[in-house]
Structure 1
Amino acid sequence: MMMMMMPRCFVSLIQAFFLSLVLLLLHHVGGESQAASSHHRELLAYRRPLQDCPGCTTTTTTTASSLPALHYDPDLKDVNIVATYSDHHGNIRLGSVKMGHLSSSWLFHNPLLPLPNNNKPPSQLVTPRDSFQNDSRMEESASYSSTNQTENHFPHVEFTSPAKLKRQSLRQERRAQRTLELIQQDKESDKQMQEAAIHKSMTFENSLVGKYSIWRRDFESPNADAILKLMRDQIIMAKAYAHIAKSKNASNLYLFLMQQSRENQRVLGKATSDADLPSRALEQAKAMGHALSLAKDELYDCHELAKKFRAMLQSTERNVDGLKKKGTFLIQLAAKTFPQPLHCLSLQLAADYFLLGFNEEEEDVVKKDAKFEDPSLYHYAIFSDNVLATSVVVNSTVLNAKQPEKHVFHIVTDKLNFAAMKMWFRVNAPADATIQVENINDFKWLNSSYCSVLRQLESARLKEYYFKANHPSSISAGADNLKYRNPKYLSMLNHLRFYLPEVYPKLDKILFLDDDIVVQKDLAPLWEVDMQGKVNGAVETCKESFHRFDKYLNFSNPKISENFDAGACGWAFGMNMFDLREWRKRNITGIYHYWQDM
């Protein structure tokens, strides 16, 4: 009986053991199912970690009860989250959930802050990785603890770091601020332009500004001659169409165009700008435009017009070339000749001088005036045989002088023109200024024994050079020396300038003026110029190569090449200030004689 009961108890024990094992397995399977469901539910509960802001760093612990309001933020509920994780079999899975589906049981933790609850891990914890790892992307680990202390790791999730989000936010703020600044600058610029336009319109002067010189235009707009140019172009077009109309026997149109062209020409007159045109100029331009429009409708032929314009251009060029040559000839003629009424001016002046007895009066008058030798006055030297040219120089100088009574003119001429020069300045003497007229033949010291040039003028070689027939047969053949073969260089008046200290022994400074200049301002300040011990003060003329010494001197001669610089500057004798004291001290006349006698 006892034996039978033991197996029966043993069987019951075994059954109880297997029953408890089955219950345990069922409980374990249920736990795993619950854990898997919990994993999915906790994945849905994931959201972006809180940014590192003052409001976030001040809270030391975060409980599940404080998070639901964040999970259901309406602005974030549609944000998708993609995460990778491994299931309980070790397989890698991908999951995608929306922010609105996240659970409120998750706790977000900043890794830079201590763990909540005194470093004790909560039941659910999301910890982002360091922001400098994995290209500034964060990893998060989620741990889940079941009721039986079973611990599993939540899959890793990558997302944008708070630092990068902060930089993006700051960048957007800077862009917005810069946009506002640019808009404000644009508004300020527009406002300034409007104010400037208003100010200009209020101060605009529409009255015509007159011209003070026929050679210069002032205060004219770039389009001051727009109508003038238009009417001139219309005349050219009208002539072209008129010739085409004539070739096609359209006589009425030809006459109409020529009439309009003449009318345009009458309106233009001698106008040089729109301001000079009459008031009906614009109406005439419109009428001519209507005529050209009619001609274009009937006669326009591109090839024919091009041919006509080409012929007109060639004809105009020939006319321009002819006028240039004529102008050059007339300029030379005017420079070398006198107008016909003045051909006998010197003869008439000389006759009047002797007929009126002025020559006898001169003998009774004291020869020397005190002003002629006063070094405190402004002295001028003019050596010329041209009465009118000398008068122009003297009158223009006196006219521009502020103190004409202090200006003394020393005029030296030859014996042939002495009487005419004396008579002219006796009758036409400038007010207040002092005039002295002298005859070069009265300078007895100026003879061939003292002056090298006079000895050369008497030589047969020089006479052969200027007067004999063995010159080049054409002007072009001797053009290189033509200027220096002018017989005027034989006149001693042309060389007297090298003897100024002898002509005016009691003067300290003198201004030499040529007879081909016109003075336009007061010359008195020239006497105040510090010449720094130099003898001659001349106008700068070295801007061009033809004023260098190599154009005047023969540098193939060793004496010339050894003593002179071929590139040295020459000067013009039109206006020269001479310091006669330095001249005498350095014996410039002796140096001149040395080179003349060589």
Structure 2
Amino acid sequence: MRRRAAEYRRPVRRRFSYWIWALLGLFSVAGLVLFVVQHNHHEDRVEQPILEKNERVEQVAHVGLNFTEEILSATAFARQLGEQMTLAKAYVIIAKEHNNLHLAWELSSKIRSCQLLLSKAAMRENPITLDEAEPIIKSLSSLIFKAQDVHYDIATTIMTMKSHIQALEERANAATVQSTVFGQMAAEALPKSLHCLNIKLIADWFKKVSLQELANERRNSPRLVDNNLYHFCIFSDNLLAVSVVVNSTVSNADHPKQLVFHIVTNGVNYGPMQAWFLSNDFKGSTIEVQNIEDFSWLNASYAPVVKQLLKADSQAYYLMGLKI
């Protein structure tokens, strides 16, 4: 009986030890899982600021890219393309002069490709890569070598460029003279809708006696010789221009009644200007219109400007726009 009791107690101890080992293994697995989860969470927190920092650096570098500085850089592909394109343009002109139209067409085609690549790089604000620049640089280099092989040497290029520079200077001078003539015509001309304005005003000047009487009254106004007022003298034969100047000055003045305008014009525009300024009120300002032909003292010996205008060259210059 004692042996059986002993055999009955031993399995109980063994079952108790099994439970202890099972609990220890369970705690170990749980601790390992917690350690792995915490380690992964810490890595995510560390990597996220690094990624954000790298994105900010890339964004700053993308915004700070200056394409002009890249073109001026000696190691940039953009500068190499620009220099080759300038040389290729010179060879295009020379090839056309020697009737080598096929070479000129090939060079023009590569120049357009180069310009397209430069414009794309400027729009995207990224530097040109080697893969993009290498095909165009190689093709342009081969075409330039081909042009040099056809005896388009440096001396020929210099002489050709000099002749083209002279031609461009002549065209620039002609354009300057033309712009001066057109500017004079624009200043002296009237819009089509106002072509009959001077005719209507001069008709009113001769028909309406009240305008002439009002002009005689204002001619004797003491305000015309009052030194306490602000006097402005305008020499012009353009009715609209004078009206714009007077209206702008009066509109921007704090006290327009203290302004006095002395307008001097020629005999043709004297009547229309009188009718215009007598028929309109410019906020109480005083306006006097005078005929330059009434100034007997204003001659060539007194005024250098009049002497200059009486010369044949000056008359041809100022009247050239009317003869065109």
Coarse TM-score class (shorter-chain normalised): 0.3 to 0.5
User: Which structure features the higher share of helix residues?
Assistant: 2
Bigger radius of gyration: 1
User: Which structure features the higher share of strand residues?
Assistant: 1
